[in-house]
Chain A
Amino acid sequence: MDTTVADSVALRRPCAVRSRLRFGVLGQVRYTIGVATALIAAAAFAATFADFGTFENAANVLSLFGPLAVLSVGQMIVVLVRGFDLSVGAVFALATVITAEAMNTAGLVGLAAAPLVGIVFGLLNGVLVSYFRVQPVIATLGSLLLARGAALLAAPNGQAVILGGDAQMVLLNLQLANIAGVPVTAIFTLIVFLVVAFVLYATAFGRRLFMVGGDPRSAALVGVRVHAVTVAAYTLCGFCAGLTAILILMRTGMGLPTEGVGMEVQSLAGAVIGGSQLSGGYANPFGVFFAALFIQTTQSGLNFSGISPYAAEMVMGCSILLAGLLDRVSQRIFRTA
């Protein structure tokens, strides 16, 4: 009997090389692209500009890259379960505004508002995507618009809310503090990544995230509550956006309703350059860490060079196209039978 197209697709046997690539040590190569690009970018800028390779500048880049890194690792968790979150930029902007206002009235306790706002929007996204079966684009785009409008409405006349009093001084001191030359904000970022790595690799919940991302139907068959895990993933992403808001507040001392435009795209680039695949199932926080470092190094380096600030935007666009190419290549290599 002749084989039809459908048969030939179904009969394609698992290739030994492919499965070794997928499950073996070689498969880990995808997560090293972030490290490689970060090193290359840093070396290139250090070679071009004498002042770039200094310890002070490295500390500066490290203290700047926190917000993007934390957003990217949140994005990575959602990408792991086959989604993405376009609302993270607007959500952290809203969180800075609400937190600034809460801290101006309630003092340091108000800082708790930031993760709360993030969690609320994460929950909303997760419930819409899983229980209401809304496409991630629509659900998170809706949250983006909702959060951006709310941020502009919450801030008087859409202007920045300036932190005042003791709370501002505490945050400012934390921002300027360093332990053995390493900025406290960088240590904060590192802790977030270690916690995410612990959750992914050492908890049952982490395994469930990989299962849902790899194949939701199979995961459901072995008793994983796919919807609940998806909601949890989006909530974690929202929580990361809330943490980002704290980092932004520390740096600027203001609630900024218009901040974060384009950060959703950058965080997606961070996740994909860090080795995630948009079709789900892959994640590595350390890959994402270095991918975010690469993006920040490139932007700082281009600022150093003094060309138009829009050049950095163009490079960002190119990195995302590159991430798309990477996504495609890894899909070809790591495709299962």
Chain B
Amino acid sequence: MKMADLPGSHLLRRLPVSIWGLVVIVALVALFLPGFARIGNITNVLRVGAILALASYGQTIVLISGGIDFSIGSSVALCSVVTALAVQQLPLGLALTAGFASIIGVGAINGLLIAYLKLSPFLVTLGMLLLVHGFAAIVAGGLPVEVPDREGIHTLSGSDLLGVPYPVIIAGLAAGALYLLLERTTLGRSWFLIGSNLAAAAATGIRLRRNIFLAYVLAAVFVGVAGLILTSRVAAGEPNLYPTLPFETMAACAVGGIPLTGGRGSALNAVIGVIVIAVLNNAIVLLNFPAYAQLSLLGIIMVGAVIAQGMPSWTRPSRIRSL
């Protein structure tokens, strides 16, 4: 990172390499698939991508600070179950707040274990993945819980403003918020230092534990919004809501150019990765490929993108990996 960056010139000067991949893919898909470039289809792609985008913003924060989060798939499921159960006694607004709070709770537990007990983020969030899913399934009784008030709950995911769906607007605003958080706040800047060099961060007097804890809590805020939109879309408490969500967010971040080694990344990277994945998934549907091919393709694209982005560093003398 150049120290002489002027305010506001970040985006122009540091356009990620992955944006050219995005341009090429969108151009190819639009050229060869006539159904793609219709307003209805693009709105649909963005609507589906918005949820993945919000969750990926959370993953971005965690990755920059040098961690990783596998538990977000279970926490959105918990959100839907808590909301569905709460709505039976409480008004919708309060029930959604309870669902949102449950995701923040999961993030706070992750943060406490990782920041204050210094456990490995990898093991903690894997453990929470199972723990939270098991908990959500037990609370729901193993079956999806229906939300009775179907009219009100669909507003968040189903309505639009001047043709732009609410989730897309929310994801756009959240991208701006994430940009400000990462580039314009001391807390955000500290995550970059923590993720790239923990010892140096400690030496500069950053409050390591508090800031790492906050990374997981603020990541949970973004995931929480994704959870609310998902809950509103399915209008049910579903313990198996989106089990592949953590993997898809990691794929999105990897494709967008955020390395899992920490210390690098931006809101723009996450947005690019999400759009690439959403467009490719849409292309698979338009091509009438079997849905299962989507999984395999996601895997290949993710690894391919990481290899392509890693190529410039291959010329470095030492090629022994030190984890």
Contacts and interface: CB of A to CB of B under 8 A. Distances in A.
Q: Which of B127, B137, B293 has the most CB of A within 10 A?
A: B127
A57 to B, nearest CB: 24
A316 interface: yes
Given A220-B320, A325-B117, A327-B123, A146 B299 contact: yes
Contacts of A272: 123
A321 interface: yes
Contacts of A6: 199, 203
Contact of B247 (A128, A135, A141): A141
Interface residues of B, number: 56
A311 B130 CA distance: 10
B310 A133 contact: yes
Nearest to B297: A149
B36 interface: no
Nearest to B135: A314
B319 interface: yes
Nearest to A150: B296
Nearest to B109: A321
Contacts of A132: 307, 310
B297 A310 contact: no
Contacts of A227: 319
B294 interface: yes
Interface in B116-147: 117-120, 122-124, 126-135, 137-138, 142
B130 A323 contact: no
A143 B299 contact: yes
B134 A134 contact: no
Contacts of B124: 321, 324
Contacts of A207: none
Contacts of B292: 149, 152-153, 158
A129 interface: yes
A122 interface: no
Interface string B163-176: 00000000000000
B95 to A, nearest CB: 23
B260 A137 contact: yes
Contacts of A146: 295-296, 299-300
A73 B108 CA distance: 33
A324 B295 contact: no
B161 interface: no
Given A82-B323, A145-B302, A310 B119 contact: no
Interface string A285-327: 0000000000000000000000011111110111111011101
B138 A310 contact: yes
B138 A149 contact: no
Nearest to A277: B120
B123 A217 contact: no
Contacts of B300: 142, 146
Nearest to A131: B319
Interface of B: 68, 113, 117-120, 122-124, 126-135, 137-138, 142, 199, 202-203, 243, 247, 250-251, 254, 259-261, 290, 292-300, 302-303, 306-307, 310, 313-314, 318-323
18 contacts: A5-B203, A6-B199, A82-B321, A133-B321, A138-B302, A141-B251, A142-B302, A149-B294, A217-B322, A308-B142, A310-B138, A313-B137, A314-B135, A316-B134, A317-B130, A320-B126, A324-B120, A327-B120
Interface of A: 5-6, 9, 82-84, 128-130, 132-139, 141-146, 148-150, 152-153, 158, 216-217, 220, 226-227, 230, 261-262, 265, 268, 272, 278-280, 308-314, 316-321, 323-325, 327-328
User: Would you list the 4 A-B pairs with minimal beta carbon distance, nearest first?
Assistant: A317-B131, A149-B296, A145-B299, A149-B295
